[in-house]
Amino acid sequence: MIRNGTIVDGSGANPSAADVAITGGLICAIATDLARGVEEIDARGRLVIHGFVDVHTHYDARATQSSRLSPSSWNGATTVLLGNCGVGFAPCHVDQRDMLVRLMDGVEDIPRAVLTEGLPWNWHTFPAFLDALDSREYDTDIAVQVPHAAVPVHIMGRRGADREPATEQDRQRMADLTGEGIRANTLGFATSRTIGRERVEAVWRRQALISSVTRRLMRPEREEMKAIATNAMRCFFERSKMLFKRR
């Protein structure tokens, strides 16, 4: 029982004083004068709020090394999203690891030593990367996106890392690979539309590639992709009802 706190429920309603009863990790009642609980927490003078979702993180390396996804978890986030800006470390062939590290370093300006120190690389496919994450325990829940940059590198090797034009066969294989990742229960496909230091023609090639892969992915599996997205969002909202989950 969390008692005497000021409730801010995220609905836009004004804060209100109430008690919060919790059973089995789920909120079962929000009211005043609730019966005494097995464990009582006095929240007088404090805000009692829902967990936040940190939708833009780059814990892709950290999540393979540490159970603490801070500072997000320190600041009330109960779910973090990986794979942002289209950079990540899966899928990945053994000889492409350094390419993906360099991409992450180049896009996010995270030092290579920080990224590579302790990376276990105990995956090859995107589903195997999710399995590697699932085998660990964290102080937040984790959601993952298929990172765009890793897909052309996986299929095209150095040509993909150098942003060379993709062939028709390349595009079809990238669509298949992206579909495999989405079907493994990710929240989608992430890229970046920031031009930065890229040449105009490189930006247009990237946009054309994304459009081509998306069309190939959605055309034969439109209903399946719609169902996957619907189920993922339903799961996401169900999980959002839970309190901060610490294992």
Q: CA 149, CA 239: separation in Å to the nearest integer?
A: 29
Q: Could you tell me where the DSSP H helices lie in the chain? A: 97-108, 112-116, 126-134, 150-156, 158-161, 168-183, 200-218, 222-239
Q: Residues of CATH 3.20.20.140 domain(s) within the chain?
A: 52-239
Instruction: Give the tens place of pLDDT for each residue, 105-126.
Output: 877 777 888 777 778 999 999 9
| pLDDT at position 206 | 56
Instruction: Give the tens place of pLDDT for each residue, 8-55.
Output: 988 888 999 999 999 988 899 999 889 998 999 999 999 999 889 999
Q: Which residue has the higher pLDDT, 81 or 211?
A: 81
Q: Which of 68-72, 101-105, 165-169 has the highest mean pLDDT?
A: 68-72
Q: Give the homologous superfamily in CATH for domain 52-239.
A: Metal-dependent hydrolases (3.20.20.140)
> Does the pLDDT of residue 224 top 70, yes or no?
no
Instruction: Give the tens place of pLDDT for each residue, 173-217.
Output: 888 888 888 888 888 888 876 555 444 444 445 556 666 666 666
Instruction: Kindly report the number of other CB atoms within 10 A of residue 30's CB atom.
Output: 15
> Does the pLDDT of residue 247 top 50, yes or no?
no
pLDDT band, residue 130 (cuts 50/70/90)? very high
Q: In Å, what is the CA distance from 11 to each residue of 6, 7, 125, 193, 223?
A: 14, 11, 39, 31, 32
